[in-house]
Chains A and B, each alone.
Chain A
């Protein structure tokens, strides 16, 4: 999950790291696909940079999911919790 953006920028959480890991992509490969520098992927994943609308839409298009599945203004719940529920023993 993306860490909250620093400075005075609005907080934007994202699932880029999870989605990239699920697909077995390196940062460089994702950067190539989104036409950005590989470091920008790292800053995005750490929540230290908020993407433009264009870049967010390109990411959504690349992963073939709605943009709100990747970026959110509220923290994401873990995917396992979403899939299997949060109930414990």
Chain B
């Protein structure tokens, strides 16, 4: 028997409860930046950064598949909400960064300077954050599916 197309529309998000999805989303978003601020004995930070980077990349690839598949109208609505939330989060983060730099400038009368390592860490985290944020938001807002009844 040929399975109808709509039954293939299950995304990888469908199979996990919201609590699990939110945990994965938080780990994906926070673990990578955190790996730069924890103590760094024995190259642990590099190892963690690489591991979390790989997880984020995997989440991003799965997300690309999830976000771009043939979705029905409700799923497209949820996806649009997720993109809108991402837009506001990113805007808020950029605005916060600008306000912080501007505040330092106003107080000290000179622009703050950062060493290369810090700039690289922030840049790497930002890239991974941008990759992961859309799917993390989707995983966060998608409610648990209703039970069969």
Q: Do A and B come from one complex?
A: yes
A63 interface residue per 8 A CB criterion: no
Q: Mark A43-61, 1 if CB is under 8 A from B, else 0.
A: 1011011011011000000
* B7 pairs with A32, CB closer than 8 A: yes
* B73 pairs with A43, CB closer than 8 A: no
The residues of B that contact A28 with a CB separation of less than 8 Å are: 7
Q: How far is the CB of A38 from chain B (nearest CB, A)?
A: 7
- Choose one: A37, A45, A46; the contact of B9 (CB below 8 Å): A37
B115 interface residue per 8 A CB criterion: no
A39 interface residue per 8 A CB criterion: yes
B145 interface residue per 8 A CB criterion: yes
- Choose one: A26, A32, A51; the contact of B73 (CB below 8 Å): A51
- Choose one: B5, B72, B146; the contact of A46 (CB below 8 Å): B146
| Chain A-chain B contacts (Cβ-Cβ < 8 Å), number | 51
Chain B residues with a Cβ closer than 8 Å to the other chain, count: 18
Bound form: Cα–Cα A37–B72 in Å: 6
The residues of B that contact A49 with a CB separation of less than 8 Å are: 74
Bound form: Cα–Cα A45–B74 in Å: 13
Bound form: Cα–Cα A49–B74 in Å: 7
10 contacts across the A-B interface (CB closer than 8 A):
A27-B148, A31-B7, A34-B6, A36-B74, A37-B6, A40-B72, A42-B145, A42-B147, A48-B146, A49-B74
Given contacts A32-B6, A36-B6, A42-B146, list 17 more A-B pairs with CB under 8 A. Answer: A32-B7, A35-B5, A35-B6, A35-B72, A36-B72, A36-B74, A37-B9, A37-B71, A37-B74, A37-B75, A38-B7, A39-B14, A39-B145, A40-B74, A42-B145, A46-B146, A54-B73
The chain B residues found within 8 Å of chain A, CB to CB, are: 4-7, 9-10, 14, 71-75, 143, 145-149
